[in-house]
Amino acid sequence: MGNNNQKIFGIIDRRTFIKAGSFAGLGMATTLGQNNSSIAQQTYTGEKIDMFPHILPKKYNDELLKKSRPNYNLEANRLRPALTNLDLRFKTLEKFEGLRQVLTLGAPPIEFAVSPQDAVDLARLANDEMAELVNKYPDRFIAAVASLPMSDVDASLRELDRAIKDLKMKGIQIFSSINGKPLDRPEFLPIYEKMVQYDLPIWIHPARDREVPDYPGEKMAKYSLFVAFGWPYETTMAMGRLVYSGVMEKFPNLKFIAHHCGAMVPFFSVRIPVLEAAGDGEIMKLTKPPVQYFKRFYGDTVLGGNTPALMCGYAFFGADHMVFGTDYPYPGPFPGDLNVESIIKAIDRMNITQEEKAKIFSKNPRSLLKLS
């Protein structure tokens, strides 16, 4: 790894990354909650459906680079050639038995990067290319998820219909906020209603750029903390708004997949009832305890190979509401296979049954995607 990448991502080389167990080498616990039981040590060898990898199709990426405003993601994406290089992606897929991907578009959010009209055109281009890849390489890509020009809800509804009906895509991806607007805004309700009708899930990816300061007294975020900690915060807030605004109650069959295993929600779930006791008067009177709505989300396994964190997610969501995901080719400037390997091994180390691992790796994804 080159010196420039070391400066950006910290002094950690490939050997250190492998030896330390991926993100475990960055200070995360590696033994808490792990044991030597036969259950936890069993390796899962069946189908693995990656529900949250990322891709930037070539034509789409070329147009994005021409039209996008400057942003963090454009800088970061240049360090990850596997976003655009199919050969690198195929090499990774070949390393892991039974691995197939559900294609989701890499950041930045289209509506943030370009004008509303350009967003309509780029979303259509991205969806066409991803659908084409699924049709061309079905053994590698089991499905694709549509992106929408969320700065224009009417255009988003039209593209949603086209993507699912014509392109046979299996859901949509939105971001944790839409150009600063929370996901519980009434203008977005028609999209949720439409997804309930299709009975397909919505992927939530965090969104926050360097231009959003960590403190009101500053003009820009510093040290890339907005990525490491700001993004999980954004996902958590999006989930909270969808719950407390009543969106989850209004649409009891609405399905969301929350990146990074539901972000802060599982770890801080005991704080959820505190809001009811110390609310600001704006909390909607829900008919069920709020925690029940949070448990309806699906958490992916994108936690950097951290088994104790996965067990925390499991304790909250249960195996029925967890899905395998890798964030490929993130997090670092590697081909992407190291994070895939670390997450697979972390799931293998979980103190759960093989049947529960099969749910996470394959059965839950197939159910959500409505695949036989």
Q: Exposure of 92 by Cβ count < 10 A (0-12 exposed, 13-18 middle, 19+ buried)? A: buried
Q: Please tell me the predicted confidence (pLDDT) of residue 273.
A: 80
* This prediction's pTM: 0.88
Q: How many CB atoms lie within 10 A of CB 113?
A: 21
Q: Residue 14 is which amino acid?
A: R
Q: How many CB atoms lie within 10 A of CB 229?
A: 13
Residue-wise pLDDT for 157-184, tens only, equals 999 999 999 999 999 999 999 999 999 9
Q: Please tell me the predicted confidence (pLDDT) of residue 85.
A: 92
What is the spatial distance between Cα 323 and Cα 10, in angstroms, rounded to a whole number? 30
Closest CA to 51 of 372, 371, 370, 366: 366
What is the spatial distance between Cα 159 and Cα 145, in angstroms, rounded to a whole number? 12
Residues 288 and 249 sit within 8 Å (Cβ to Cβ): yes
Q: Which residues, given as ranges, of the chain have pLDDT below 70?
A: 1-41, 71-72, 77, 276-284, 332-335
DSSP 273-334: HHHHHS--S-----SS-HHHHHTTSEEE--STT-HHHHHHHHHHH-GGGEE----TT-SSSS
Residues 112 and 72 sit within 8 Å (Cβ to Cβ): no
CA angle (111, 116, 121) in 5-degree steps: 90
Q: Please tell me the predicted confidence (pLDDT) of residue 47.
A: 98
Residues 255 and 200 sit within 8 Å (Cβ to Cβ): yes
Domains parsed from the chain with CATH numbers: 39-369 (3.20.20.140)
Q: What are phi and psi of 230, to 5 degrees?
A: -65, -40
Residue-wise pLDDT for 319-371, tens only, equals 999 999 999 998 765 567 788 999 999 999 999 999 999 999 999 999 999 99
What is the spatial distance between Cα 288 and Cα 247, in angstroms, rounded to a whole number? 13
